[in-house]
Amino acid sequence: MNGKFQNIGQKEWIMYKPRWGAFYKTNLETKLNELGIDSLVICGCNFPNCPRTTIYEASERDFKIFFVRDATSGVYEKGINELRDIGIKVFKTNSLINFIEQKNI
């Protein structure tokens, strides 16, 4: 709960976030930059709150964002259209896996 990253595996961490967005008052941006990460896959619980807020925060920071609609609860079509309008790539799980494999990401 102190906001520090906890290593739980090789190249795998968890962190506590105090609000809806993952970037608000956390060191997430710094950590991602240190690791040279410029692309994010986002999914989660209750799209109108945490996932959507995190997506907008990541977009403000110029990360490339891939949203997984079938791995997120509370998704609605207007919200998907709004994401696409700001340049977010929206996928279903299998389509994203295929995209990643084809691009060798």
Residue ranges per domain, the chain? Answer: 6-103
Measured CA distances, 80 to 17, 83, 85 (Å): 24, 5, 9
Measured CA distances, 60 to 48, 69, 93 (Å): 18, 20, 24
| pLDDT, tens digit (0-9, with 9 covering 90-100), for 81-105 | 999 999 999 999 999 999 999 987 6
Helices (H) and strands (E) in the chain, counts: 4, 5
| pLDDT, tens digit (0-9, with 9 covering 90-100), for 19-57 | 999 999 999 999 999 999 999 999 999 999 999 999 999
Sequence-distant (6+) residues with CB within 8 A of 82 are: none
Superfamily of domain 6-103: Isochorismatase-like (3.40.50.850)
